[in-house]
């Protein structure tokens, strides 16, 4: 009797719909998830709105036109190129992450929303740079830029920790240096604000220092990679 009743009790067990919902969500391919479409859409809108701040006032005076072209147009174009390049690098890193992870959870979605909040706010902060002669405008812009970078590195750190969202066979150590590289971007931006403490330093000139970012990236990449390989060489 006990043997005949046991299979009946298993057949009468009803599956928990909440567990099924969680299982479906965590096994769904990230490339097919709406979070990818939402992220790409917000990036596309933010990158498009950035160019709207590049304007040359209409005038009948050639002198006024040349002055606006050499000052406002050139300066705003520099701001646009820097912001566009940084956002593109964040977008590429996000796409790489979404292609590597095999599942997502609610916490990851929440961190991603925080990341997108900074991205969507960029057109507003970029318009503040029309008043880049004021340190507050530059500081606000830099803080938003740094917040976007730190939230991007937080996405990687959360997904990588203990193979939370990565497959078990993925070597976490190979991707840990990527978190450090992503973090080096916003750290460099924040440290550059120290230059504003120099008396009579034009706040808008701080962005010319950001042109050194590719050099900083190469140096940081070499240092981090050499440090990451050091334990392996010692073990050999």
Separation of alpha carbons 112 and 94, rounded Å: 9
pLDDT tens, position by position, 15-31: 444 343 344 344 455 44
Positive or negative: CA dihedral 38, 44, 50, 52:
negative
* Confidence (pTM): 0.75
Termini Cα distance of the chain: 63
Asked if pLDDT for residue 166 goes beyond 90, the answer is: no
Mean pLDDT of 66-91: 83
Whose tokens are 């709105």? That residue is: 49
Q: What is the mean pLDDT of the chain?
A: 78
pLDDT confidence of residue 228: 55
pLDDT score at 6: 45
Encoding tokens for residue 33? 């998830």
Q: How far apart (Å, rounded) are the C-alpha atoms in residues 90 and 84?
A: 10
Question: Picking from 83-87, 188-192, 221-225, which range would have the lowest pLDDT averaged per residue?
Answer: 221-225
pLDDT digit string, tens, across residues 127-138: 888 888 899 999
> In angstroms, rounded to a whole number, what is the distance separating the alpha carbons of residues 177 and 220?
10
Residues 163-184 have a mean pLDDT of 78
């Amino acid at each position: 009797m006990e043997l005949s009743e046991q299979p009946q009790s298993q057949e009468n067990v009803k599956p928990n719909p909440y567990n099924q919902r969680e299982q479906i969500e965590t096994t769904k391919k990230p490339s097919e998830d709406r979070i990818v479409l939402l992220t790409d859409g917000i990036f596309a809108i933010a990158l498009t709105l950035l160019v709207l701040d590049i304007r040359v006032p209409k005038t009948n005076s050639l002198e006024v036109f040349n002055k606006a072209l050499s000052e406002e147009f050139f300066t705003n174009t520099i701001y646009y190129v820097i912001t566009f390049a940084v956002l593109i690098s964040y977008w590429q890193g996000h796409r790489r992450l979404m292609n590597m992870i095999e599942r997502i959870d609610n916490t990851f979605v929440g961190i991603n929303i925080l990341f997108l909040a900074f991205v969507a706010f960029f057109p507003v902060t970029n318009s503040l740079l029309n008043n880049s002669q004021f340190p507050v405008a530059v500081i606000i812009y830099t803080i938003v830029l740094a917040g976007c970078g730190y939230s991007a590195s937080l996405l990687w750190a959360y997904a990588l920790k203990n193979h939370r969202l990565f497959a078990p066979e993925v070597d976490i150590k190979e991707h840990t240096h990527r978190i450090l590289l992503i973090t080096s971007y916003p750290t460099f931006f924040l440290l550059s604000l120290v230059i504003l403490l120099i008396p009579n330093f034009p706040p808008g000139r701080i962005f010319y220092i950001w042109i050194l970012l590719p050099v900083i990236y190469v140096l940081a990449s070499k240092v981090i990679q050499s440090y990451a390989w050091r334990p392996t060489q010692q073990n050999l």
